[in-house]
Structure 1
């Protein structure tokens, strides 16, 4: 049995020999990263400085934007370094740090989208009780629980993977993933597998159960409500649903392609789709500029 300490680094085999094209890819990835950082930072500053935007919907949005900066920081600097490197290796400690960062990012994103669906449910179905039921203290509590729940849950997952004894150090991906590290284990992985399934259920399926429940209630109100109610629901809920579908598609593809050997998809498509939920974050345009919040940029002109 080989102890994992004998492998101070992992080798990432998904990177192709790009030759001089690596500099073009570097510029493209760097540009995308800059746009994401600037767009998210601009929206965060605008929400913080405009008192008229200190409402639950925008506070939850601000949490989402902070999480997108957090997730981008866990991927893009690493990608930029790997693109220009001839030896695609990552140290063991950085690998597990990246695992923790990216997995908590995904959990916070799903949880935040679920909380935002609750906000839309109260705004449309209980407009008269909206401010009473969604006070500033409750908003702060929901955001704190979203982050703490995600950070603690994957602290356990990362620790369980870190303690494994490994037989190899080759990961057939662009970045570190807990599933592929676990596959390298020589020791028993029963606890890791059970906890991994449980964590996946909590991360993906629990929010996806609550969100349809909220929108079922919203749909019922729209059916019997006024034209103004339907217009309000469409204008505020459609971007949220599209963001959820966008992010869920990327995450579900990554989960399925990791667990099952999908041979019908070209390797380049595997590569692009494995980065989809990390690079094309819940949004409708480049970076993190959401159509539903485009009007925030109008406020920036008055700052």
Structure 2
């Protein structure tokens, strides 16, 4: 605690041999962060400038990629600062703000994938009603809810946690996640229950909805023509791959929290990096390679760059 300014600082104790490898860590994470921004931004740029990509499915993809950049920006700049600093610390208020951003944007991913699943369901199972159902107003409402619902719920959890007294000032991690609950002098049953409610609302229920929707799509596609099955596979497979990847990373985050004290420090660091490393890189690669229209525009863009 800094008495002069009355600011409480938390030590991020999950780093491994920063003094020895600080510049190596910095170069690797800086390169990854730049690649995340560039790869996501290129696909968003293509969706914005090409009129044939101004469809609900591509708008949701663009929103998902923007969300990935925001998610990374909530984590990576602090990593880079920590690697170059003598002490890896964060103020109590900034820690809770990072906690808020991490779980809000993580929850938004599931809700955006739910909106995409509904869009594919209407497109494949109710093609005649698609223009009426998936209007600009509907898309705007889905996007607003995808960011607003997790933000409102996680804000409550962050505010309640921030008011609790701390008896421990060392976090066994490299950024602020649910591990901040272990810093409290007394564990709160109410806060734990509220956390479970958030998990149900922004992860479990959206996941159930997506699974139910894709089962319906699978049944309808199986009964339909070969062309419908092909369309379903082309547009639904990338979303399912992204969903599986995100679900695994969400499971990782829960495992790290539950087994935190039992895991060696190096293993804990490697597992934590999985949570923030793969998903923002995975999204643009999957959508860039698996979405036919986006792949076409990517090829044209890079061919033009080569000619120049």
Indicate whether the TM-score tops 0.5: yes
Moved more, 190-199 or 287-296: 287-296
Q: Secondary structure at the match of 1:45?
A: helix
Aligned to 1:204: 203
- The secondary structure found in structure 1 opposite 2:142 is helix
In the alignment, structure 2 segments of 5+ residues that lack a partner are: none
Counterpart residue number, 1:294: 295
- Pairing 1:1-303 to 2, within 5 Å after superposition: 8-177=8-177, 179-187=178-186, 189-260=188-259, 263=262, 267-281=265-279, 284=282, 290-292=288-290, 293-298=294-299, 300=301
Q: Secondary structure at the match of 1:127?
A: coil
1:93 partner SS:
helix
Shift of 1:217: 0.4
How far has the Cα of 1:261 moved from its partner? 5.2
Check whether the contact 2:14–2:268 (CA below 8 A) recurs between aligned residues: no
SS in 1 for 2:128: helix
C-alpha RMSD of matched pairs (Å): 2.3
Separation in 2, partners of 1:225, 1:135? 26
Instruction: Give the CA deviation at 1:116.
Output: 0.8
CA contact (8 A) 1:67 1:105 kept: yes
User: TM-score, normalising length from structure 2?
Assistant: 0.89
Change (3 A) 1:289 1:240: closer
- Cα-to-partner distance string for 1:11-51 (whole Å, 9 max, x where unaligned): 11111114442212211110110011112222222212212
* TM-score normalised by L of structure 1: 0.91
What is the rounded CA distance, in whole Å, between the counterparts of 1:122 and 1:74 in structure 2? 34
Q: 1:27 aligns to what SS in structure 2? A: helix
Runs of 5+ unmatched residues, structure 1:
none
Change (3 A) 1:104 1:296: farther
